[in-house]
């Protein structure tokens, strides 16, 4: 009897490795399932990121991505507009911005304003940058009659767009201290505000789409180390914000 019990116990001990082996196989299977699920999520996120970047830079999704449906934007600070239009809406918006850019380029060439009005596509939208010399007398925020006519023409090209418009005033770093403008802050803000008034009163743009901001000397495009560079920094920018930025603008 003792011998038979010993033989049975010895037989059981030899097969205990099967339990360890089955546990190991189960753990490996769980590990690979988890790894697969993680890799699938990352692939989707990377694809969504690529599509979002393509929309930000060219106004349409990257070819070949999400042909069967889109994913939410993953670009920080950029969210779909309220009641978003999706991929098709982004394409329509890009086409409209391109149309406005072409129309303004033709006007700039016709009037010989190359070098005084520049058009730049930025991540936030289309920027119409105008040198202060074609808008204001030196040290003043009063628009000249020629400047008012120019802004009316520019405003007409923007009227049909639904986008928000941000008018930004900039100066060089030369200090100013007058009763009207104690600093460049006041000068740049007054200039932006006067441009907004013309766009509203003369070009017929809805006031709810406009905002005025004065940056003073603190957003230069080039160092203020020469008169030519300082002239470039003295400017008023009209920024046609992409509809994705509606979430950062006050709206009803």
Name the pLDDT band for 83 (thresholds 50, 70, 90). Answer: very low
Q: How far is CA 89 from CA 4, 23, 83, 157, 207, in A?
A: 82, 53, 11, 20, 24
Domain membership of residue 152 (yes or no) is yes
For residue 128, the cross-strand partners are: 119, 238
Q: 24-41 pLDDT, tens per residue?
A: 888 888 877 777 766 655
Q: Hey, how many other C-beta atoms are within 10 angstroms of the C-beta on 172?
A: 20
Name 2's Cβ contacts closer than 8 Å, sequence gap at least 6. Answer: none
Structural domain includes residue 43: yes
Domain match, 92 and 24 both: no
Asked if residue 105 belongs to a domain, the reply is yes
**Has residue 76 been placed in a domain?**
no
Q: What does pLDDT average to over the chain?
A: 80
Same domain, 189 and 240: yes
Residues 33 and 99 in one domain: no
Q: Is 232 found in the same domain as 121?
A: yes
- Phi (first) and psi of residue 169, to 5 degrees: -95, 140
Residues 238 and 113 in one domain: yes
Does residue 197 lie in a domain region? yes
Angle, CA 163 vertex, CA 158 and CA 164 arms, to 5°: 100
CA angle 211, 143, 233 (to 5 degrees): 70
Same-domain pairing of 159 and 199 = yes
Q: Examine the domain organization and report whether 21 and 142 are in the same domain.
A: no
Q: By residue range, what is the domain housing residue 174?
A: 86-248
pLDDT digits (tens, 9 = 90+) for 185-227: 999 999 999 999 999 999 999 999 999 999 999 999 999 999 9
Residue 162 lies in a domain: yes
Overall domain count for the chain: 2
Are 41 and 166 in a shared domain?
A: no
CATH of the domain at 240: 3.30.1330.60
Query: Residue 115: its pLDDT value, please?
Result: 92
Is the pTM of the predicted complex or chain greater than 0.85? no
Q: How far apart are CA 231 and CA 233, in angstroms?
A: 5
Tell me: do 54 and 105 sit in the same domain.
Answer: no
The confidence band for 180, taking pLDDT boundaries of 50, 70 and 90, is very high
| Residue 74 is assigned to a structural domain of this protein | no
What band does 55 get if pLDDT is binned at 50, 70 and 90? low
Q: Give the whole-number percent of the chain exceeding pLDDT 70.
A: 69
d(CA 193, CA 211): 8
Are residue 114 and residue 42 in the same domain, yes or no?
A: no
> Please, where are the H alpha helices in 76-182?
86-111, 145-158
What lies within 8 Å, CB to CB, of 120 at 6+ separation is 126, 127, 129
């Amino acid at each position: 009897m003792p011998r038979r019990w010993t033989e049975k116990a010895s037989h059981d001990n030899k097969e205990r490795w099967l339990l360890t082996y089955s546990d190991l196989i189960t753990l490996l299977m769980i590990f690979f399932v988890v790894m697969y699920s993680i890799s699938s999520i990352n692939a989707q996120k990377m694809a969504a990121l690529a599509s979002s970047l393509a929309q930000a830079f060219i106004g349409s999704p990257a070819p070949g991505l999400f042909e069967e449906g889109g994913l939410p934007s993953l670009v920080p600070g950029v969210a779909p507009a309220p009641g978003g239009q999706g991929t098709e809406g982004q394409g329509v918006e890009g086409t409209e911005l391109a149309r406005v850019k072409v129309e303004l380029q033709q006007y700039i060439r016709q009037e010989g304003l190359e070098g005084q009005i520049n058009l730049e596509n930025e991540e936030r939208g289309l920027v119409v940058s105008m040198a202060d010399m074609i808008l204001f007398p030196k040290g003043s925020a009063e628009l000249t009659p020629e400047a008012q006519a120019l802004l009316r023409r520019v405003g007409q090209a923007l009227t049909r767009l639904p986008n928000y418009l941000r008018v930004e005033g900039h100066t060089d770093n030369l200090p100013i201290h007058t009763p009207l403008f104690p600093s460049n802050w006041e000068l740049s803000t007054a200039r932006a505000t006067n441009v907004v008034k013309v766009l509203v009163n003369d070009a017929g743009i809805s006031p709810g789409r406009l905002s005025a901001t004065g940056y003073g000397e603190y957003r230069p495009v080039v160092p203020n180390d020469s008169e030519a560079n300082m002239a470039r920094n003295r400017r008023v920018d009209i920024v046609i914000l992409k509809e994705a930025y509606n979430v950062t603008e006050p709206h009803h």
